[in-house]
Amino acid sequence: AFLLITFWIWLSNSGPWPGNNQPSVRLADGKGRCSGRVEVFYEGTWGTVCDDHWELKEAGVVCRQLGCGRALSALHGAHFGPGLGKILLDNVQCTGKESHLGQCPHVGWDAHNCGHQEDAGVICSGSLFLFLNFYYSELKH
Protein backbone atom coordinates (compact mmCIF):
# COMPACT_ATOMS: atom_id res chain seq x y z
CA ALA A 1 0.00 0.00 0.00
CA PHE A 2 1.17 3.48 -0.77
CA LEU A 3 0.12 6.35 1.45
CA LEU A 4 0.47 9.98 0.45
CA ILE A 5 0.20 12.55 3.18
CA THR A 6 0.18 16.18 2.20
CA PHE A 7 0.51 18.96 4.72
CA TRP A 8 -0.26 22.60 4.15
CA ILE A 9 1.40 24.72 6.73
CA TRP A 10 0.54 28.39 7.05
CA LEU A 11 3.34 30.36 8.61
CA SER A 12 2.97 33.94 9.70
CA ASN A 13 6.32 35.63 9.51
CA SER A 14 7.44 38.02 12.17
CA GLY A 15 9.99 39.95 10.14
CA PRO A 16 12.74 39.94 7.58
CA TRP A 17 15.19 37.08 7.52
CA PRO A 18 18.25 37.92 9.63
CA GLY A 19 21.83 38.03 8.49
CA ASN A 20 21.69 39.81 5.15
CA ASN A 21 24.01 42.63 4.14
CA GLN A 22 21.58 44.23 1.71
CA PRO A 23 19.88 47.59 2.24
CA SER A 24 16.85 47.29 4.48
CA VAL A 25 13.38 47.62 3.01
CA ARG A 26 10.06 48.44 4.66
CA LEU A 27 6.48 49.08 3.65
CA ALA A 28 4.89 52.30 4.92
CA ASP A 29 1.32 53.51 5.33
CA GLY A 30 -0.33 50.24 4.30
CA LYS A 31 -2.67 47.93 6.15
CA GLY A 32 -0.29 45.76 8.15
CA ARG A 33 3.40 45.13 7.65
CA CYS A 34 3.02 43.37 4.29
CA SER A 35 1.52 46.19 2.23
CA GLY A 36 2.45 49.79 1.67
CA ARG A 37 4.78 52.25 -0.01
CA VAL A 38 8.21 50.73 -0.65
CA GLU A 39 11.00 52.42 1.27
CA VAL A 40 14.69 51.48 1.39
CA PHE A 41 17.41 52.39 3.88
CA TYR A 42 20.66 53.42 2.26
CA GLU A 43 23.65 55.28 3.70
CA GLY A 44 21.84 56.30 6.86
CA THR A 45 18.55 57.46 5.39
CA TRP A 46 15.17 56.06 4.38
CA GLY A 47 13.87 56.89 0.93
CA THR A 48 11.26 55.77 -1.56
CA VAL A 49 11.35 53.84 -4.83
CA CYS A 50 10.04 55.32 -8.08
CA ASP A 51 7.36 53.31 -9.91
CA ASP A 52 9.05 53.44 -13.34
CA HIS A 53 9.31 49.81 -14.58
CA TRP A 54 7.67 48.66 -11.30
CA GLU A 55 6.00 45.29 -11.89
CA LEU A 56 5.16 42.07 -10.04
CA LYS A 57 8.76 40.84 -10.38
CA GLU A 58 10.07 43.80 -8.39
CA ALA A 59 7.21 43.64 -5.89
CA GLY A 60 7.89 39.92 -5.47
CA VAL A 61 11.48 40.59 -4.47
CA VAL A 62 10.31 43.08 -1.83
CA CYS A 63 7.77 40.61 -0.44
CA ARG A 64 10.40 37.86 -0.33
CA GLN A 65 12.93 40.14 1.38
CA LEU A 66 10.37 40.96 4.07
CA GLY A 67 9.21 37.37 4.54
CA CYS A 68 5.73 38.41 3.40
CA GLY A 69 4.93 35.63 0.96
CA ARG A 70 4.26 36.41 -2.69
CA ALA A 71 3.39 39.69 -4.38
CA LEU A 72 -0.30 40.19 -5.12
CA SER A 73 -0.01 43.73 -6.56
CA ALA A 74 2.67 46.14 -7.77
CA LEU A 75 1.14 49.58 -7.29
CA HIS A 76 1.93 52.88 -9.01
CA GLY A 77 1.17 56.55 -8.51
CA ALA A 78 1.79 56.77 -4.74
CA HIS A 79 -1.16 54.46 -4.03
CA PHE A 80 -0.27 54.53 -0.31
CA GLY A 81 0.42 58.25 -0.34
CA PRO A 82 3.58 60.14 -1.26
CA GLY A 83 6.67 59.59 0.83
CA LEU A 84 8.97 62.23 2.26
CA GLY A 85 12.66 62.80 1.79
CA LYS A 86 14.81 61.22 -0.88
CA ILE A 87 13.78 59.03 -3.78
CA LEU A 88 16.57 56.47 -3.59
CA LEU A 89 15.79 54.06 -6.45
CA ASP A 90 14.42 54.41 -9.98
CA ASN A 91 14.10 52.09 -12.96
CA VAL A 92 14.49 49.00 -10.78
CA GLN A 93 14.41 45.93 -13.02
CA CYS A 94 14.50 42.60 -11.22
CA THR A 95 14.48 39.17 -12.80
CA GLY A 96 12.30 37.98 -9.93
CA LYS A 97 14.94 35.59 -8.61
CA GLU A 98 16.75 38.08 -6.38
CA SER A 99 16.42 37.73 -2.62
CA HIS A 100 16.92 41.47 -1.94
CA LEU A 101 15.87 44.60 -3.81
CA GLY A 102 19.45 45.91 -3.71
CA GLN A 103 20.48 43.03 -6.01
CA CYS A 104 18.22 44.27 -8.83
CA PRO A 105 19.68 46.50 -11.56
CA HIS A 106 18.73 50.18 -11.27
CA VAL A 107 20.06 53.55 -12.46
CA GLY A 108 22.02 54.15 -9.25
CA TRP A 109 21.34 55.18 -5.69
CA ASP A 110 19.72 58.61 -5.37
CA ALA A 111 19.52 58.97 -9.19
CA HIS A 112 15.99 59.46 -10.50
CA ASN A 113 13.63 61.50 -12.67
CA CYS A 114 10.58 61.09 -10.41
CA GLY A 115 8.54 62.94 -7.88
CA HIS A 116 6.89 61.40 -4.84
CA GLN A 117 3.62 61.18 -6.80
CA GLU A 118 5.33 58.17 -8.47
CA ASP A 119 6.25 56.25 -5.31
CA ALA A 120 5.97 52.48 -5.74
CA GLY A 121 3.87 50.25 -3.51
CA VAL A 122 3.20 46.57 -2.98
CA ILE A 123 0.60 44.27 -1.53
CA CYS A 124 2.00 40.91 -0.43
CA SER A 125 0.10 37.77 0.50
CA GLY A 126 1.26 38.26 4.08
CA SER A 127 2.49 34.77 4.82
CA LEU A 128 4.33 31.88 3.35
CA PHE A 129 2.71 28.65 2.34
CA LEU A 130 4.88 25.63 2.78
CA PHE A 131 3.84 22.62 0.84
CA LEU A 132 5.34 19.50 2.35
CA ASN A 133 4.89 16.05 0.93
CA PHE A 134 5.65 13.00 2.93
CA TYR A 135 5.56 9.67 1.22
CA TYR A 136 5.20 6.49 3.14
CA SER A 137 5.47 3.21 1.42
CA GLU A 138 4.54 -0.01 3.11
CA LEU A 139 5.75 -3.17 1.48
CA LYS A 140 3.48 -6.15 1.72
CA HIS A 141 5.25 -9.38 2.45
Give the pLDDT score at 23: 75
Question: What is the CATH superfamily name and number for domain 24-139?
Answer: SRCR-like domain (3.10.250.10)
Ranges of each domain in the chain = 24-139
For residues 132 and 6, give the distance between their C-alpha atoms in angstroms, rounded to a whole number: 6
For the ranges 4-8, 21-25, 41-45, 78-82, the maximum mean pLDDT occurs at: 78-82
Which is more confidently placed, 92 or 130? 92
Rounded to an integer, what is the distance from CA 47 to the centroid of its chain? 16
Question: Which pLDDT tens digit goes with each residue over 78-89?
Answer: 999 999 999 999
